[in-house]
Amino acid sequence: MLRVITANLNGIRSASKKGFFEWFGEQKADVLCVQEIKCSQDDMTPEFLAPHDFKGYFQHAVKKGYSGAGLYTRHEPDDVIIGFGSAEFDPEGRYVEARFGKLSIVSVYVPSGSSGEERQEAKYRFMDEFMPHLAELKSEGREVVVCGDVNIVHKEIDIKNWKGNQKNSGCLPEERAWLTKLFDDVGYVDVFRTLDTRAEQYTWWSNRGQAYAKNVGWRIDYEIATPGIAATAKRTSIFKDIKFSDHAPLTIDYDYKIKR
């Protein structure tokens, strides 16, 4: 069994103080993907670098206290790729890929466009660059699991307030169409939805009002996989018992062995 967890930490130091690494140590994970670590290399403590005999690999943003992605693995990778070759977005710390034989596990942090039009346009540029990269990984015959904060809901079932967010970043028609193309044309699979078709299964809640308490949320954290490994997915869960960040960790178990 291969257990893969993805979690946007909204600051690795903040999540650590809320018990995230203690929780992680109890999960029997194989790989943990993290996003928005908001921490420079100089600020990474031994716990942040190698908790519970896992080894961490990271891409830090050039801008201090911003973005950042990484992954922890208890299996020695054959290769680790930092960044996906984007002149614009690699300096923002958004992509780490670990390769185990023909399997790639990717931690990605897609930009948010919620701060204004300029960042929304940057988000579209990221999407335009990232789709061909995912298509190329798949065309190489690799099994791929893309984990991370995609900052887009796909369908009405994935957001509490569908009508009220049609003009807001993360729920724009162009963004949702991008995911549809990734699934229907490029051939990736929204793994969570193959296992859990229930409504109101969210991974992010606004800090405004009582969004978390009332479960007024969005499902924007994903494990998106190529069909072969996606078909082996057996169980999934969203962990909400402890609030480590404004996102909840997503866990999926695959009936898959890492082959060396």
Tokens of 229: 């490994």
Choose the catalytic residue: 30, 149, 158, 221: 149
- Residue 147's closest CA among 26, 249, 15? 249
Gap between the Cα atoms of 88 and 107, Å rounded: 18
Asked about 149 being catalytic, the answer comes back as: yes
Q: Are 105 and 97 in contact (CB under 8 A)?
A: yes
* 69 contacts 39 by C-beta, under 8 angstroms: no
Q: Which residues contact 3 (CB under 8 A, 6 or more apart)?
A: 27, 28, 29, 30, 31, 251, 252, 253, 254
DSSP symbol at 202: -
Question: How buried is residue 219: exposed, middle or buried, by Cβ count under 10 Å (0-12/13-18/19+)?
Answer: buried
CB count within 10 Å of CB 232 equals: 17
Contacts for 77-82 with beta carbons within 8 Å, 24 or more apart? 78/260, 82/57, 82/58
Strands (E), the chain: 2-8, 31-35, 55-59, 69-73, 79-82, 95-100, 103-109, 143-149, 189-190, 204-205, 217-218, 221-225, 233-238, 250-254
Catalytic positions: 149
